[in-house]
Structure 1
Amino acid sequence: MRPKTEAELVEAVAGATGPLLLRGGGTRTLGHAMGEVLETGGLTGVELYEPGALTLVVRAGTPLAEVDRVLAGERQRLAFEPPDLRGLLGREGVSTIGGVLAANASGPRRVQAGAARDAALGVRFVDGTGTVVKNGGRVMKNVTGYDLVKLLAGSRGVLGVLSEVGFKVQALPEAEATLVIEGLSDEAGLKALRVALGSPFDISGAARHSGRSLIRVEGMAGSVAYRTGQLRDRMGGEVTVAEGEASAALWREVRDVVPLQGKPGEVWRIATLPTAAAEIVAVLGGEALWDWGGGLIWLLLDPGRGAEVAAAVAGRGHATRVLGQGGPVFPPEAPEVAVLAAGLKAKFDPRGILNAGMMG
């Protein structure tokens, strides 16, 4: 099924007689959900764009590339830098803006600008009963009851099918530069990222892979030059500076996890304490790409090491297997969280038809 209007989406959900497998462009799907495929890629188009108010509202099936094109025409962007994981996951298809929010897909700039959920202004979605629900609006505001904008972000379709999303957008910076630091151990290189993030110099990216630590600054040209110089004086190791497109290319590699693409094994996405990042990888081995100053680890391991990953991360974060076969994909929920999740699922999808079994 591929509805082209919200009314058709309502009809599809309300008339479903069994489980529905929700899909935007199929580029970010994880988990074990099964059922009749319901695609949102037919729900396309810009509903509202006010560059002066930094506000964009689009239908959920609108391709991410189209959103980027519209924003670039006004020298604006999505601040949270959503990754393109098709190369890592071996997928084709077209990433949709609804899929981005449903996965809370957030890239390197999260350390400065926050996640997708932090930029989301409002949502419209169809719950498991076929009812249209709207929450939020064109400006950030507190709401009573459920904050459904935040709740739907990262819910991966288990609570409702997004039909429309609104975001606060950001102006493109005049300049960007990246400090590339080599010659440091992983522990020292990750410490350099934490030092930079703790500085007053407004870091917009802090990552490490292939023996290099990367620190990005963006903004007015004069400010970028000043901050780059100040940071360079504070770093150890061998430091070079990439500017403009050379800098942007480095961060596309980080954003899309390019160093781990096409390699045999399983890929784990580990969210953890930055101070624990070096130790976790030292214990598990494998090939790592660290983002968010060490708070996010993309780790390539041999298959079948899920129990070891869970043990290494226990009490310090959570791990999701994004590539590989067999075993659970998502980490187990704490008992109190499981009770809350079950209550929300019963509220918004009482028939249990939306992406049923995804977490299994």
Structure 2
Amino acid sequence: MTPKDEQELAQYVKDAGANGRKLRIRGGGTRLALGNAVSYDDMVSMDGFSGVSLYEPGALTLVAGAGTPLREITETLRKSGQQLPFEPMDHCALLSSTGEPTIGGVVACNISGPRRIQAGACRDSLIGVRFVNGQGDVIKNGGRVMKNVTGYDLVKLMAGSFGSLGILTEVAFKVLPIPETQTTITLHEVDLDVAVQAMSSALGSPFDVTGAAHLPALENTPSKTLLRIEGFAKSVKYRADKLAAKLSRFGEVSQSYDDHDIWTDIQNVTRLSGTIDAIWRVSVKPSDAPQFCETLAKNCPNAAVQLDWGGGLIWARVPNDFDLRQCLNVAGHATLIRGDGFAAFQPQPSVLAKVEQNLRQKFDPVGILNTGIMG
């Protein structure tokens, strides 16, 4: 089913609810593997909701249909020297998927890249949404008030809901200028403890770091700790030189200018792609990253990891039959991104689980939207 507008989609959802037919929402098809297996009768394609409907560079605002390819939005913004601040990743390499990521899928999964540490997550740049809930009502923030959900921040709720609360039809973002230049400061061949200390030092400095990642040694490639500084050329050079001097106490330091490829690889977790192993996404306190990684290495010697967000985000590649959560001996949570045999999402504490259940009951009382995707 490929509805051409909101009215057709809303009627289709109403009819599906009346007939007990469950719906699977599809954007570009690149992230269908994310989340738990979905029980559905019909697939709803969002191809009919494509295109940028409003773009005002002077107001730093863009509005687009949920089915708009991310590439189209990136190209539109680039023509005016602007970008989405949160640097959304492309899962194609990691999930071995095909197709084109859509902006609706980015929002539904709250996808954010390395720049999150400075610019915030996807939901922090999202300023408006339109969607069809599980009862076939067209809802927009600032517009129609949905019965029993008055007071909810619909923008924040829809980001990361994986289509379980409603079918996004339109999204609006605040955008930012593309930096004039960037410098990557590399700390060479240091162990994980030192890397986390260095990243923490950099992020606590006044030099406005927009990327902080650690790539442990993998096969024949030595470890690297990478810090990114962006902005106007003179400012970047000054800040990069100061930060490089500050980090020299941790080990050998070098600088490279406009090295965008390395950050694209970090953004898309390219180094962990190309195998059939499971991929996990682990969120911990940065200072706890070394302890978790040490436990993981002891229990799974073949594990490969990548640290982002100063150590707060750990990507891990492990054999499919290995339950990474058994190594989570620090506060945090682990999400299965690719693989099977384990639940995608870590069980929520009972209080939060009850809140989520109540939200789904209000937005999708019959339970027809992406049923089971969140567990």
CA contact (8 A) 2:30 2:97 kept: yes
Q: Distance in 2 between matches of 1:62 and 1:104?
A: 16
Q: Distance in 2 between matches of 1:77 and 1:186?
A: 32
CA contact (8 A) 2:2 2:46 kept: yes
Residue-by-residue CA offset, 1:96-147 (whole Å, 9 max, x unaligned) = 001000000000000000000000000000000000010159xxxxx96000
1:99 aligned onto 2:111: no
- Give the equivalent residue in structure 2 for 1:267: 279
- Give the equivalent residue in structure 2 for 1:33: 38
Q: Distance in 2 between matches of 1:133 and 1:89?
A: 32
Q: Distance in 2 between matches of 1:279 and 1:166?
A: 40
Alignment equivalent of 1:213, drawn from 215, 225, 245: 225
Higher deviation after alignment, 296-305 or 143-152: 143-152
Q: Distance in 1 between matches of 2:101 and 2:231?
A: 28
Structure 1 residues 124-143: aligned runs within 5 Å: 124-136=130-142
1:299 aligned partner, one-letter code? A
Q: State the shift of 1:194 in Å.
A: 1.0
Higher deviation after alignment, 44-53 or 124-133: 44-53
Structure 1 residues 122-271: aligned runs within 5 Å: 122-136=128-142, 145-209=151-215, 210=217, 211-235=223-247, 236-244=250-258, 247-271=259-283
Q: Distance in 2 between matches of 1:154 and 1:314?
A: 25
Q: Distance in 2 between matches of 1:49 and 1:158?
A: 28
Alignment equivalent of 2:357, drawn from 342, 347, 360: 342
Q: Distance in 2 between matches of 1:65 and 1:8?
A: 26
- Give the equivalent residue in structure 2 for 1:86: 92
Higher deviation after alignment, 333-342 or 3-12: 3-12
1:148 aligned partner, one-letter code? L
3-state SS of the aligned residue for 1:15? helix
Q: State the shift of 1:305 in Å.
A: 2.1
Q: Distance in 1 between matches of 2:74 and 2:263?
A: 16
CA contact (8 A) 1:178 1:243 kept: yes
1:354 aligned onto 2:357: no
- Give the equivalent residue in structure 2 for 1:49: 55
Higher deviation after alignment, 312-321 or 154-163: 312-321
1:241 aligned partner, one-letter code? Q
Q: Distance in 2 between matches of 1:13 and 1:315?
A: 42
3-state SS of the aligned residue for 2:67? coil
Alignment equivalent of 1:301, drawn from 318, 339, 350: 318
Alignment equivalent of 2:27, drawn from 17, 24, 28: 24
1:144 and 1:344, CA in 2 relative to 1: closer, same or farther beyond 3 A? closer
Q: Distance in 1 between matches of 2:295 and 2:50?
A: 46
TM-score with structure 2 setting the length: 0.91
Q: Distance in 1 between matches of 2:9 and 2:212?
A: 41
- Give the equivalent residue in structure 1 for 2:292: 280
CA contact (8 A) 1:9 1:126 kept: yes
Q: Distance in 2 between matches of 1:261 and 1:28?
A: 15
Alignment equivalent of 1:332, drawn from 341, 347, 368: 347
- Give the equivalent residue in structure 2 for 1:140: none
- Give the equivalent residue in structure 2 for 1:313: 328
Q: State the shift of 1:314 in Å.
A: 5.4
- Give the equivalent residue in structure 2 for 1:115: 121
TM-score with structure 1 setting the length: 0.95
Q: State the shift of 1:187 in Å.
A: 1.2
For the aligned residues, what is the CA RMSD?
1.4
CA contact (8 A) 1:10 1:130 kept: yes
1:261 aligned partner, one-letter code? S
- Give the equivalent residue in structure 1 for 2:300: none
CA contact (8 A) 2:162 2:374 kept: no
Runs of 5+ consecutive residues of structure 1 not aligned to the other structure: 138-142
Q: State the shift of 1:326 in Å.
A: 1.7
3-state SS of the aligned residue for 2:186? strand
2:263 aligned partner, one-letter code? W
Q: Distance in 1 between matches of 2:49 and 2:329?
A: 40
3-state SS of the aligned residue for 2:196? helix
Q: State the shift of 1:313 in Å.
A: 2.5
Q: Distance in 1 between matches of 2:193 and 2:226?
A: 14
Q: Distance in 2 between matches of 1:237 and 1:264?
A: 35
2:344 aligned partner, one-letter code? V
Paired residues, what number? 351
